[in-house]
Amino acid sequence: MQAMVFTAPGKDLCLTDLPKPVPGPKQVLLRVSHCGVCRTDLHIVDGELAEAKLPLIPGHQIVGTVTETGAEVATFTLGERLGVPWLGWTCDECKFCLTGRENLCDRAGFTGYHFDGGYAEYTVADERFCFPIPSDFPDLQAAPLLCAGLIGYRSLVMAGDAERLGFYGFGSAAHILVQVARHQGRRVYAFTRPNDVSGREFALKLGAQWAGSSDRTAPVPLDAAIIFAPAGELVPLALRAVAKGGVVVCAGIHMSDIPSFPYSILWEERSVKSVANLTRRDAAEFLALAPKIPIRTEVQQFPLASANEALSHLREGKIRGSAVLAIEKEINLQLRN
Ligand SMILES: [Zn+2]
Ligand SMILES: [Zn+2]
């Protein structure tokens, strides 16, 4: 099979011919149709997340079809369309797993980080961490739901019942979450980089109440803020924007250092928290909610061999909505030629 392989930080992914993986007893083999490109993938290839297995096939927003099942697979059968997210394995026995916090499992394994992921024509996944894709979603549109949607949804839950919600950074996750927030009757105030005029237009088009540059003051005191951008300097800005008792949720896996700030902007029971990974419960809740809204993802497609280009577009802020590798389409084209 063809795969895009990561070998060392700072080096381009390399298109490589590899043997098709063989599913373990509890794993399914999936023919990958589409795989979303996430900012976490960028942190991995840039060497900002240091635990990646090497060599590695990145990608943790996988949509594919079951083509083989391990001997002990009980839940899924051949031909089923499944999604595979970031959380790829948990121990089911540590104190976090036993208290509904498997996202914090001591021995958690992550797709496209500890295990090979979806930048490939085939991948294997533990059946416990595969989810049927709602039928209303084409594969291309479904891929960004699996991380941007899922972990974004967990961040939104952590923001509590805040009605006036600030989003800092308006990329893949925010463009999905603004739709969820509106559906729940909340108002979204979108902050983007000062020069990102089209990001602000995009936010308003998707239903944000207001959009402005991140160096501007919010037009109203916010009840909560979610920071999607990996920029630590946004934390004090967001703390200044939230009202008494407000929470600032940091939604990414990596962030640049947070500058020091006066205690007065944290005072009055404001809080800062981070969101780590996802649970299977988050996935079940979010994938049930997505077709009811219904969420419409805006997607920019790239062929598998152009994964490096997709990553650099993401790094440069050039992606409107989500970047997705269209892999099966590429196989079809090859067959036709
Ligand atoms: Zn555990
Ligand atoms: Zn992700």
Per-residue pLDDT of the chain (337 residues; tens, 9 = 90+): 999 999 999 899 999 999 999 999 999 999 999 999 999 999 999 999 989 999 999 999 999 999 999 999 999 999 999 999 999 999 999 999 999 999 999 999 999 999 999 999 999 999 999 999 999 899 999 999 999 999 999 999 999 999 999 999 999 999 999 999 999 999 999 999 999 999 999 999 999 999 999 999 999 999 999 999 999 999 999 999 999 999 999 999 999 999 999 999 999 999 999 999 999 999 999 999 999 999 999 999 999 999 999 999 999 999 999 999 999 864 544 444 3
Give CA–CA dist 152/92, Å, rounded.
24
The answer to whether the CB of 42 falls within 8 A of the CB of 6 is no
Residues with CB in 5 Å of ion ligand 2: 38, 40, 147
**252 C-alpha to center of ligand 2: Å?**
8
Tell me how far the alpha carbon of residue 185 lies from the centroid of ligand 1, in angstroms: 36
211, two tokens:
């959009």
Distance CA 13, CA 168 (A): 29
What spacing in Å lies between the alpha carbon of 278 and ligand 1's midpoint?
13
Measured from the alpha carbon of residue 44, the closest ligand is: 2
Among the bound ligands, name the one nearest to the CA of residue 104: 1
Alpha helix stretches (DSSP H) within 26-112: 39-45
The Å distance, Cα 149 to ligand 1 centre, comes to: 23
Report the separation in Å between the CA atom of 109 and the middle of ligand 1, taken as the mean of its atom positions.
10
CA-CA distance, 269 to 266, in Å (whole number)?
7
Q: 280 C-alpha vs ligand 1 centroid, how far in Å? A: 13
The partner residues of 167 in beta bridges, in order of sequence, read 190, 226
CA of 58 to the centre of ligand 1 (A): 23
Nearest ligand to the C-alpha atom of residue 40: 2
Phi, psi at 97, each rounded to 5° = -60, -35
Ligand nearest to the CA of 171: 2
Q: Which ligand sits nearest to residue 99's alpha carbon?
A: 1
Residue 108 alpha carbon to ligand 1 centre in Å: 6
CA–CA separation, 116 vs 100, rounded Å?
26
Q: Which ligand lies nearest the alpha carbon of 109?
A: 1
What pTM was computed for the model?
0.95
Distance (angstroms) between ligand 2 centre and the Cα of 253 equals: 9
**Ligand minimally distant from the alpha carbon of residue 89:** 1
- Alpha-carbon distances, residue 99 vs 103, 108, 129, 256 (angstroms): 11, 15, 18, 31
Task: Say which ligand is closest to the CA of 84.
Answer: 2
For the CA of 252, the nearest ligand: 2
